[in-house]
């Protein structure tokens, strides 16, 4: 699995490098307090990175909620298993 991840990372890096070479033209980025000329590939990569970070931040609440639910369910399972062990240790009463 690690080798597959490494191969995918290498492919993405090579595609990114070729993308940067193909889009080497400059653009002017206007900020609220000024402007700056940067390569198009850098602007696109920055937009991709910022979008990825915002996506991760947006999903963190869902991830934390799921982890809390998993913890709660694990506690319930643990208590239930203890109860089953206790019930199994009780002697069986025969009404005959």
Tens-of-pLDDT digits for all 96 residues of the chain? 889 999 999 998 898 888 888 878 899 988 888 999 998 888 888 888 999 999 999 999 999 999 999 999 999 999 999 999 988 888 877 766
pLDDT of 35? 92
In a domain, 59, yes or no: yes
- Rounded to an integer, what distance in angstroms lies between the CA atom of residue 25 and that of residue 41? 8
In a domain, 54, yes or no: yes
Q: Give the per-residue SS3 of 25-84.
A: CEEEEEECCEEEEEEHHHHHHHHHHHHHHHHHHHHHHHHHHHHHHHHHHHHHHHHHHHHH
In a domain, 95, yes or no: no
Tally of domains in the chain:
1
In a domain, 11, yes or no: no
pLDDT of 96? 64
In a domain, 35, yes or no: yes
pLDDT of 52? 93
Name the residue range of residue 31's domain.
18-88
Tokens 């980025």 label which residue?
A: 29
């Amino acid at each position: 699995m690690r080798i597959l991840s490494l191969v995918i990372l290498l492919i993405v890096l090579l595609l990114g490098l070729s993308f940067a070479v193909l889009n080497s033209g400059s653009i002017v980025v206007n900020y609220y307090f000024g402007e700056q000329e940067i390569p198009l590939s850098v602007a696109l990569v920055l937009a991709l990175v910022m979008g990825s970070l915002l996506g991760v931040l947006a999903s963190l609440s869902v991830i934390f909620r799921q982890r809390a639910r998993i913890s709660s369910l694990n506690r319930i399972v643990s208590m239930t298993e203890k109860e089953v062990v206790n019930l199994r240790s009780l002697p069986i009463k025969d009404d005959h």
